[in-house]
Amino acid sequence: MAEVHIRKVVKKYDEVLAVRGIDLDIRDHEFVVLVGPSGCGKTTTLRMIAGLEDITDGEIAIGGDVVNDVPPKDRDIAMVFQNYALYPHMTVHENMSFGLRLKKFPKDEINRRVDEAARILDIKELLDRKPKQLSGGQRQRVAMGRAIVRNPKVFLFDEPLSNLDAKLRVQMRIEIKKVHQKVRTTTVYVTHDQVEAMTLADRVVVMNNGVIEQVGTPNDLYHHPKTRFVAGFIGSPAMNFIPCKLQDEAGELKLRINDGLALPVPPARAGKYVQHKGNGSVLLGLRPEHLTEARAQLDPGVVAFDANLDVTEPMGMETLVYFPINGETVCGRVNPAAGAKEGAPLKMAADLNNMHLIDPKSGLVL
């Protein structure tokens, strides 16, 4: 078993708190991604799991054993770094087998493990090459292969794709997912890229300012964020936040955005939000895909309104449109055939069945 348990872990650099007493349980065989902006504590957390950073307070256990004072080489983990860290004078085979040779594994066993890892990663034809003869993606596969041959309890990935170009990042995401499906080793993966987090993870851990904001499946975080930070961080383009007031108007609960625009809250949501009416300003959270061109027949909970477009971004399969509401720039997604033009009006529709209301003071989703 290779669960990882983090209990009230703190990391302090002099007077700076980098990690603020986090708790996290990572299940056996699970692929967990730590994601967040620079400085949120995700890499520090990974390095504490690896033993490359001392823990100021708290406890980390791997496979049921507390490893606070266990050196990295004895934790039975394998780490894949951002910069590959390959030996330039060694062949791919020698790089992948280096750790096993240090531990005096039999030559037949070394060759068997290297061949198996090379087969999984589709790099068998590269085993006799030197790193300088490889592309960036191939070097990253070799770095992964070096981790796989060790058959560790836990894989740790520290932003492994950040040095690759956009197209190669997509390819390598797919490769990493395939590898995890074949080699079901517990994996902790750090990235600042929320697309990587959403596409790779069984569960995503969103960190901010040294604390864990929310843990959940990609769909949970996308559709049911608990805080404004998570709502705005997960999803691209980001969720729109529109200031408004929750009011009872003629017996109907409405979101009063300005003097000329009030959106009725769907009856299915009214019971949830009625207790917050009259409590001052709130934020309406709507993702761009829930702001679309208005159609002749509107579904229940979908409300039409007029917008004047500032900017359009044709993306091929869709067009992103940007328009102001109460001084805030709002993003919507419309059909390329909707006739969206910069500087022109467009009838838009807000799908309030997928709305979120956020308390601007606490940052909590209501």
| Each residue's pLDDT tens digit, 240-299 | 999 988 888 877 888 888 888 888 888 888 888 888 777 778 899 999 999 999 888 888
Whether the predicted pLDDT of 163 surpasses 80: no
pLDDT tier for residue 160 given thresholds of 50, 70 and 90: confident
Q: Are residues 220 and 244 in the same domain?
A: no
**Domain-located, residue 44:** yes
Q: Are residues 269 and 169 in the same domain?
A: no
Q: Per residue in 200-250, pLDDT tens?
A: 999 999 999 999 999 999 999 999 999 999 999 998 899 999 998 888 887
Average pLDDT over residues 313-332: 92
Q: Are residues 72 and 120 in the same domain?
A: yes
Which residue, 171, 202, 226, sits at the end of a domain?
226
CATH number of the CATH domain containing 20: 3.40.50.300
**Domain-located, residue 231:** no
At residue 209, the pLDDT reads 93
At residue 27, the pLDDT reads 95
At residue 150, the pLDDT reads 86
Q: Per residue in 126-142, pLDDT tens?
A: 999 999 999 888 888 89
Which of the pair, 262 or 346, is modelled with greater confidence?
346
Amino acid occupying residue 195: V
Which residue, 202, 226, 250, sits at the end of a domain?
226
pLDDT tier for residue 321 given thresholds of 50, 70 and 90: very high
Look at the block and give the residue holding tokens 């996308």: 222
d(CA 221, CA 138): 32
**Domain-located, residue 363:** no
Q: Are residues 215 and 278 in the same domain?
A: no
Q: Are residues 194 and 314 in the same domain?
A: no
Look at the block and give the residue holding tokens 């409590």: 279
Pairing outcome for strands 203-208 and 31-35: parallel
d(CA 275, CA 279): 9
**Domain-located, residue 61:** yes
- In the DSSP assignment, the letter for residue 146 is H
Of 45-59, 74-88, 172-186, which has the strongest mean pLDDT? 45-59
At residue 1, the pLDDT reads 59
Which of the pair, 334 or 182, is modelled with greater confidence?
334
Q: Are residues 34 and 182 in the same domain?
A: yes
Q: Are residues 152 and 284 in the same domain?
A: no
Which residue, 226, 259, 294, sits at the end of a domain?
226
**Domain-located, residue 153:** yes
d(CA 350, CA 77): 48
Q: Are residues 24 and 79 in the same domain?
A: yes
Q: Structural domain of residue 73, as residue ranges?
A: 4-226
CATH number of the CATH domain containing 278: 2.40.50.140
Size (the chain), residues: 366
**Domain-located, residue 319:** yes
- Number of domains the chain contains: 2
